[in-house]
Structure 1
Amino acid sequence: MIEPATARADGPGGSRAASDETADARYVTANIPVFLLRCLAATLADLGFDPSRITLGFGLTLDDLADPSCRVSFRQGHEIIRRALRMARGYALGLETGSRETITSIGLVGYAMITSRTLGAAIDLGLVLQKDTGSMLEFDKRISGHDVVVSASTRFHAPDITVFLVEEAFASFLQIGRGLVGERARPRRIDLAYPPPACAEAYRRIFDCEVRFGCTENLFVYDAGELARPLITSDPLSHREVMSFLERNRARNREAQEVIDSVERVLRQNLRQPPNCERVAQELGLSERTLRRRLAEFATSFQDLLDRQRRNRALELLANAGLTIDEVALAVGFTDAHNFRRAFRRWTGSTPGAVRSDAAGLWPE
């Protein structure tokens, strides 16, 4: 799914997040599961911050982050993490987040790994399905002598969140390893392609191994001899069942996303005067009955999709202090601001004015 056309790459009050080389469709395609962002929100709450403020203006709420079917773009994830870092200055937020995760924090992929035959098979599976775990980095594995080396690199140029992403990834690797083979799991060495941060000592305490800063790559290095270690949680039947479900679910999600994307695209293009279901179905070459049935098969409805598009656009537009509430209402298809306010409360549990005040208080610039 591509983000609404009104979404900006810089977010409310922020500087432009993407360079020209990353300003392409991949940067704004909502295809990243929200497991990482959900854990980030929980970490902020543990540290005493209000996590609901990191999603303001992006058509997202904390309830969305708790929905395993929710997807975000790299742009949205980038900005949400950037805001979290601003809120939690002084904390090693990536380490804090990754250390709170478990193997089940990455959804069904975690269960598939647990039921794998060996540690090596589980790791290989996790790497193959890495995009299903919500990672915003790219991971590659190689064997070097007696070591297994997993490298982490960025999908896009995002220097302001790269340290967070590497911290979170490597700390979560450690937790996943412990979920598979117990407390004995630990890396042999950690290499990091950035200078020592103020919290450098926390790295050594968490990973309990040699940590080298200022290297040329971000590497998580562990003993290759561990790859053949059998997992006590291995279960071939359960593994086949989980993998079969994952494959069916991925195929179904692809089909559902195609239909939903098509409907949402038509709605976004005509949100000021939204078409009814019959007209959208005609544009897609379907009967209204067929479209409604297919949406119902995917546990949604035409009204749900219209409400979601209106909510997303309204949340984005409210970040623009130059627009009045009435103008925002008109932009999302309401001729009566009172009806808009009532619908907005139903969608978000808050009022347009309160959301705008929260955004202005957090990002006064």
Structure 2
Amino acid sequence: MKPIIDPRYSEASAPPQISRFLLQYAVACGHDPALLCRGLGFAPEDLQRPDYRLSFRQSYQLVRRARQLLGDSGLGLTVGSRQTPVSWGLVGLAMLASPDLGTALQLALRYQWHIGSLLDYRMELAGNQVLIHATPRFFDQEVAAFYLEEAFSSSLAIVRFLTGQDLVASRIEVQHPSPPHAQRYAELFRCPLRFAGEHNLMQFPASWLELPLPTRDDYVVAETCLLLDGTIRQDQGLSDLVETIEREVRKNLGAPPSLSQLASQLNLSERTLRRRIGEAGLSYHGIVDELRRTRALQLLGQHDNRLIDVACATGFSDVRNFRRAFKRWTGVTPRTAKQRIAAQP
């Protein structure tokens, strides 16, 4: 398939926390971490430097190698369930010192980049339930499943650690199909599960937000947030802008807002917004196309989806127009892409 064209895929911008956890687990299993990293452009000791960054491409390649070497299809669950707040560094410390779980989760969302997240998260309150949505930034069915498993299992492990309670979510939904290790989901989460769903989300009672944390220290929270706010990555504002645009477009991918509508939402002029998107080496049309392409590939990976359903979900009322756009995005037809995805191990 046509390679991912988003320039951020190859930028060394991602904190290496998850890659570090992965190598630590490989070492615990008796493997040489240097062999896992060979040819990827970094060594295990590089990941110990607090200022070191990986590209998404390097992170994804490491996950593929580790899954193959360790022979664990549920490696994301394994790595995630072993984590504690300490695994999330300064953000984990701020969460430990928070007055309640709601504040701790808001801090995790606010500083998700510092945690080393390779997904985009948002929290939504729906009645007496809270929904945590997770969205992969780039399409790769195998690696996206790993990061979703790692995200949900680590989040639950850390929530249980913070509160000291064996909390059980209301439900979990993921877009990837049921994996060979589905039983491990049931054992770990102990809640209703839905595979091949419309979203990637974890749902839990809103009452969790009010749970007090026994390690509260308001001074530590303030001091830690001050440190985190001072650690501004290069082009932080520009990257945040692009991520904000992507979040707004994902809310209604079938009929995304116009550039002028989006500019109004962001309190910018249309001209300024177009210029700032251009500074990131992107265009608004290109951002929408990339999100539609990613969503189309995700949906095509679910064998029971009809082509008309995929077209409608990505903003096309006519299948012929969708086919033309998809071939422009990927170089192949939707049918060929579906066959290739199905043939992947």
Aligned counterparts of 2:183 and 2:24: Cα–Cα separation in 1:
24
Deviations 1:63-101 (A, max 9, x none): 112222211111111111111112122441111100111
Match of 1:88 among 65, 70, 74: 70
Q: Is the 8 A contact 2:13 2:53 kept in 1?
A: yes
Q: Name the CA shift for 1:110/1:156 in 2 (closer, same or farther; >3 Å).
A: same
Instruction: Specify the code of the residue in structure 1 equivalent to 2:200.
Output: N
Shift of 1:121: 0.9
Shift of 1:54: 2.0
Match of 1:61 among 43, 54, 71: 43
Q: Is the 8 A contact 1:112 1:243 kept in 2?
A: yes
Q: Is the 8 A contact 1:139 1:151 kept in 2?
A: yes
1:166 aligns with 2:148: yes
CA-atom RMSD in angstroms: 1.7
| Aligned twin of 1:233 | 215
| Aligned twin of 1:74 | 56
* Mean Cα deviation higher: 55-64 or 83-92: 83-92
Q: Is the 8 A contact 2:73 2:180 kept in 1?
A: no
Deviations 1:45-71 (A, max 9, x none): 223333322211123111112222211
Instruction: Specify the code of the residue in structure 2 equivalent to 1:82.
Output: R
Aligned-residue identity in percent = 35
Q: Is the 8 A contact 2:141 2:176 kept in 1?
A: no
Match of 2:131 among 137, 142, 149: 149
Match of 2:204 among 222, 237, 243: 222
Instruction: Specify the code of the residue in structure 2 equivalent to 1:235.
Output: D
In the alignment of these two chains, the number of paired residues is 235
Shift of 1:131: 1.0
Q: TM-score scaled by structure 2?
A: 0.65
| Aligned twin of 2:116 | 134
Aligned counterparts of 2:34 and 2:88: Cα–Cα separation in 1:
21
Deviations 1:275-331 (A, max 9, x none): xxxxxxxxxxxxxxxxxxxxxxxxxxxxxxxxxxxxxxxxxxxxxxxxxxxxxxxxx
Aligned counterparts of 2:24 and 2:206: Cα–Cα separation in 1:
34
Q: Secondary structure at the match of 1:153?
A: strand
Runs of 4+ in 1 over 6 A off after TM superposition: none
Instruction: Specify the code of the residue in structure 1 equivalent to 2:12.
Output: A
| Aligned twin of 2:90 | 108
| Aligned twin of 2:107 | 125
* Structure 2 gap ranges (5+): 236-345
Instruction: Specify the code of the residue in structure 2 equivalent to 1:134.
Output: G
1:191 aligns with 2:170: no
Q: Is the 8 A contact 2:34 2:43 kept in 1?
A: yes
Aligned counterparts of 1:140 and 1:77: Cα–Cα separation in 2:
22
Q: Secondary structure at the match of 1:64?
A: helix
Q: Is the 8 A contact 1:177 1:186 kept in 2?
A: no
| Aligned twin of 2:227 | 245
Q: Secondary structure at the match of 1:221?
A: strand
Aligned counterparts of 2:120 and 2:234: Cα–Cα separation in 1:
22
Instruction: Specify the code of the residue in structure 2 equivalent to 1:128.
Output: R
| Aligned twin of 1:36 | 18
Aligned counterparts of 2:168 and 2:22: Cα–Cα separation in 1:
23
Aligned counterparts of 1:147 and 1:30: Cα–Cα separation in 2:
37
Q: Is the 8 A contact 1:35 1:68 kept in 2?
A: no
Q: Secondary structure at the match of 2:210?
A: coil
Aligned counterparts of 1:124 and 1:237: Cα–Cα separation in 2:
17
Shift of 1:187: 1.4
Q: Name the CA shift for 1:186/1:67 in 2 (closer, same or farther; >3 Å).
A: farther
Deviations 1:228-275 (A, max 9, x none): 122111111111111112222x14x649xxxxxxxxxxxxxxxxxxxx
| Aligned twin of 2:290 | none
| Aligned twin of 2:262 | none
1:176 aligns with 2:172: no
Q: Name the CA shift for 1:90/1:119 in 2 (closer, same or farther; >3 Å).
A: closer
| Aligned twin of 2:9 | 27
Instruction: Specify the code of the residue in structure 2 equivalent to 1:42.
Output: Q
Aligned counterparts of 2:29 and 2:178: Cα–Cα separation in 1:
23
Q: Is the 8 A contact 1:189 1:220 kept in 2?
A: yes
Aligned counterparts of 1:187 and 1:68: Cα–Cα separation in 2:
33
